């Protein structure tokens, strides 16, 4: 059950990050899930020591886990935007 919850929360975090970065029109639901899940890993790696938070699979409703997941998804989309378009936004 933890994996399903992680995919759902990853999809939500990816969708929110794509809305903020104006990428929603070019991304589908699968890419939102991928961005959210990879962004969660990236956020935990980069910001986990500073902000805390766990994994989406274990503590999906912890506010710090959601924050690090969202920020990681934003960072991931900023990197993708930079390499695809030559600019962050």
Helix boundaries (H) for the chain: 2-20, 29-51, 63-85
pLDDT per residue rounded down to tens, the chain (89 residues):
778 888 888 888 889 998 998 877 777 888 888 988 898 888 888 887 787 776 666 766 778 888 888 899 999 988 888 888 766 65
Q: How many CB atoms lie within 10 A of CB 59?
A: 14
- The structure's pTM equals 0.82
User: 25: Cβ–Cβ under 8 A, 6 or more apart, which residues?
Assistant: none
The pLDDT of residue 56 is 66
Parse the chain into domains and list their residue ranges: 2-85
């Amino acid at each position: 059950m933890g994996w399903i919850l992680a995919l759902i929360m990853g999809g939500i975090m990816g969708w929110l990050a794509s809305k903020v970065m104006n990428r929603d029109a070019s991304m589908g639901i699968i890419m939102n899930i991928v961005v959210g899940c990879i962004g969660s890993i990236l956020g935990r790696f980069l910001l986990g020591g500073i902000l805390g938070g766990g994994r989406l699979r274990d503590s999906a409703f912890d506010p710090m886990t959601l924050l690090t997941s969202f920020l990681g998804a934003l960072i991931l989309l900023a990197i993708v935007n930079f390499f695809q378009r030559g600019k962050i936004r």
